[in-house]
Amino acid sequence: MLNWSIKKSIRFYLVLLSRKPLSNLTGGRSDLATKANNLFGVKGQYQGQQILMNTDEYENNQRTTIKDYFKVYPSLEIAIQDHSDFLSVGTYATLTNLTNYAEQADLLQKAGYATDPNYATKIKKAIQDYDLAEYDA
């Protein structure tokens, strides 16, 4: 049985695949996904590996495009595991106590997971539109 954080990461990926505006992903075929196996737009470096890419960010509710470094993963499996580990610690660890996807999306928004001021609303809509709430079980 998959642990909680891996199930959440899988649902996260399904949501991102289903809604292009939520990320740079285009069905797993974005430059970030194909060049770096980075399905979630995770910034930073993984075992010293990183790639400089354009990214849309919001500051004062204004969207702007900047360049930033994103993690490069050796495989999709490792990307999913790294993302699930990320959701399991620190600020995001309280997600495990929430069983409602709407509360989880709101917590991610409040914790600064994304700079898009409408991030939580978009995530909740995508989960509803594509019947992804079943992955909460």
Annotated catalytic sites, by residue?
57, 82
Count CB-CB contacts under 10 A for residue 22: 20
**What are the Cα distances from residue 3, in Å, to 41, 87, 96?**
22, 12, 10
For the chain, give percent helix, strand, coil, nearest 5. Answer: 50, 15, 35
